[in-house]
Amino acid sequence: MSTPRPRLRMTAHALLIDSSGRVLLIRTETGTWALPSTVLTFEVQPYRQTVAFVRQVLGIEVAERDLLLAHISAHRSVTGLAGLGLVISVGHWIGQPVPTRASVTDTPTRQPTRQWCSPGQPPAPLAAWDAAVLPALLTNTPYAEIGWNPCPTPDSARAPS
């Protein structure tokens, strides 16, 4: 019996760094913090789709010429979901991607949905994918693998008998 192939998904993650070196994170529907991201379709070029995504979600204007592929992550999970995550650095933008404090909260108890933070000290809880990728961005590592065992145990490294 063959092992089922994982489902493949490709995502683009917008990396915005302000003049203080802080990274923009957004709060996801699950309550975790993450880089702003979108699932890529194969009908639209990745950079063109990233431009549209940051316009619609972050409310900023970006030109394709100001985008740069900063990192690629190959990832897999035990649920059978596998994919490639492209971290696309946004070098220049027009507008303010973070709403003012008054527009972020409807009531005093509501949490902000976007936040600038130090990449070495992100807010908690941080999404698992982003927790693995942010350190790679800090060291200018262009590629990361998430979900593979980086240090196999002696039993898993042994050839089947």
**Considering the domain boundaries, does residue 133 fall inside one?**
yes
Strands 81-90 and 33-34: unpaired
Output the pLDDT for position 102: 41
Q: 43, 114 in Cβ contact below 8 A?
A: no
**Considering the domain boundaries, does residue 160 fall inside one?**
no
**Considering the domain boundaries, does residue 158 fall inside one?**
no
Output the pLDDT for position 77: 78
**Considering the domain boundaries, does residue 22 fall inside one?**
yes
What pTM value is reported for the model? 0.82
**Considering the domain boundaries, does residue 2 fall inside one?**
no
CATH code (residue 62): 3.90.79.10
Rounded Cα gap, residues 25 and 128, in angstroms: 13
Rounded Cα gap, residues 86 and 9, in angstroms: 11
**Considering the domain boundaries, does residue 30 fall inside one?**
yes
- Tally of domains in the chain: 1
Output the pLDDT for position 93: 97
Residue type, 59: G
Domain extent for 79: 7-151
**Considering the domain boundaries, does residue 51 fall inside one?**
yes
pLDDT, mean of each 10-residue run, the chain (161 residues): 72 96 94 96 94 95 97 85 94 84 48 89 94 92 84 48 43
**Considering the domain boundaries, does residue 157 fall inside one?**
no
